[in-house]
Amino acid sequence: MAHQVQPLPFSKELDGISKKTVEIHHDKLYAGYVAKRNEVEESIKQADASKANQIYSAYRGLKEGETFAANGMILHQVHFANLGGDGKPQGTKVFDAINETWGSWEAFEEALYATGMAARGWAILAFDPSDTKLHLYAADSQNQGGVWGCTPLLCLDVYEHAYFIDTGSDRKTYIANFLKNVNWQDVDQRFTAVAM
Ligand SMILES: [Fe+2]
């Protein structure tokens, strides 16, 4: 079955992230990744595999587009599911694990801001089964920076389309706004499903 667009998992207006931004981001950009993932998967079935070449080939273009579209779909689904909450992590297991990993909540936030300012695409809180620890990973595009086997728990989209309408070039204020709206119960469910 073809990949389906998941509906926006919250109906309330976010604090500091406008309805217009959310609509464009979800309905046009995220939905575009889902449509293109379906398209590229179909195209690969029809492609001339005998002409595959690492320097240039249509097959190479399809394979590169395949991971870009797939990760674009997956990371945006987690991103939207992470939103619509009250930004309060207290009482969750992931809150305790974050405090243990970074030493304090403030130290985690500092590291998240830094990762979000350093990345060109995504700052991702992930559970890494290779060392059974939490990590903050940076990705410059949909198909760069991912670590195999990890589960993304919190996906902070730092592409300009996520904030330029609302805060212009002020990415730091956007990250603060993102944190005000995080649904930590959703993050916690993702964490306990893989770490407990
Ligand atoms: Fe995005």
In a domain, 5, yes or no: no
Rg of the chain taking only CA atoms, in angstroms: 18
Q: How far is the CA of 162 from the centre of ligand 1 (A)?
A: 6
Cα–ligand 1 centroid distance for 52 (angstroms)? 31
> What's the CA gap between 196 and 191, in Å, rounded?
8
Q: How far is the CA of 40 from the centre of ligand 1 (A)?
A: 19
Does a structural domain hold residue 43? yes
Note whether residue 99 is domain-resident: yes
User: Quick one: what percent of the chain has pLDDT higher than 90?
Assistant: 98
23 assigned to some structural domain: yes
User: Residue 29 C-alpha to ligand 1 middle, in angstroms?
Assistant: 7
Interval 5-29 mean pLDDT: 96
Query: Which residues have CB atoms below 5 A from the ion given as ligand 1?
Result: 157, 159
Residue 148 reports pLDDT greater than 90: yes
pLDDT score of 163: 98
Are 101 and 189 part of one and the same domain? Answer: yes
Q: Are 166 and 18 in contact (CB under 8 A)?
A: yes
Q: State pLDDT tens for residues 110-137.
A: 999 999 999 999 999 999 999 999 999 9
How far apart are the C-alpha atoms of 104 and 153, rounded to whole Å? 18
100 and 71 within one domain:
no
What is the structure's pLDDT at 4? 98
pTM confidence score: 0.97
CB 7 within 8 A of CB 84: no
CA of 180 relative to ligand 1 center, distance in Å: 18
- Residue 91 C-alpha to ligand 1 middle, in angstroms? 29
Q: Which CATH number is 181's domain given?
A: 3.55.40.20
Using alpha carbons, select from 181, 192, 142 the residue that is nearest to residue 21.
181
Confidence of residue 196 (pLDDT cuts 50, 70, 90): confident
154 token code pair: 């919190």
Name 139's Cβ contacts closer than 8 Å, sequence gap at least 6.
75, 119, 121, 122, 124, 145, 146
pLDDT at 97 over 90: yes
Whether the Cβ atoms of residue 40 and residue 61 lie closer than 8 Å to each other: no
Residue 1 pLDDT more than 90? no
Q: What is the CATH number of the domain that holds 26?
A: 1.10.287
Question: What pLDDT score does 87 carry?
Answer: 98
Range of the domain at 72: 19-81
Give residue 157 CA to ligand 1 midpoint distance, Å: 6
Q: Does residue 115 sit in the same domain as residue 190? A: yes
Report how many domains make up the chain: 2
Same domain membership, residue 167 and residue 132: yes
Same domain, 69 and 28: yes
